[in-house]
Amino acid sequence: EAGVAQSPRYKIIEKRQSVAFWCNPISGHATLYWYQQILGQGPKLLIQFQNNGVVDDSQLPKDRFSAERLKGVDSTLKIQPAKLEDSAVYLCASSLGTGGKSPLHFGNGTRLTVT
């Protein structure tokens, strides 16, 4: 099966600019996640979708971050305006279920550098 696709792989922007990341999950996976991985830390969940509804966005900085999942498939994550501390790898993942047992399948991530 095709894996989780993410683009772009790398992005460099200046602070206060905006940026968007795209994710296409594994076909048939209803649940989609966006994680932020800061250098030296484990991934931190930003937002979880079940089909096109939000399940958990408690750690999403909503004043600057937004995400959507149209038609329950592809998803975009946007940052506007970016701050230096947003420099990180943004990982998209998908899973079949939401019960906590289902393993996550990750894309290769987008490495964002904010200067």
Q: Which of 24, 32, 36, 43 binds other proteins (CB under 8 A)?
A: 43
Taking the complex as a whole, the smallest distance from the CB of residue 37 to other proteins amounts, in Å, to 9
Query: How far is Cα of residue 99 from the mean position of the Cα atoms in its chain?
Result: 20
2 is an interface residue for other proteins by CB under 8 A: no
Residue with tokens 């998803």: 75
Query: Least distance in Å: CB of 48 to other proteins?
Result: 6
If one asks whether residue 44 binds other proteins (CB under 8 A), the answer comes out as yes
Token output for 108: 């290769």
- Shorter beta-carbon distance to other proteins: residue 19 or 48: 48
- Print the SS3 string covering the chain: CCCCEEECCEEEECCCCCEEEEEECCCCCCEEEEEEECCCCCCEEEEEEECCEEEECCCCCCCCEEEECHHHCCEEEEECCCCHHHCEEEEEEEECCCCCCCCCEECCCEEEEEC
Using the rule CB under 8 A, which residue among 69, 109, 112, 114 binds other proteins? 109
Query: Considering the complex, what minimum distance in angstroms separates the CB of residue 107 from other proteins?
Result: 5
Contact flag: residue 22 with other proteins (CB under 8 A): no
Kindly state whether residue 27 participates in binding other proteins, applying the rule CB under 8 A: no
Residue from 13, 78, 106, 113 binding other proteins (CB under 8 A): 106
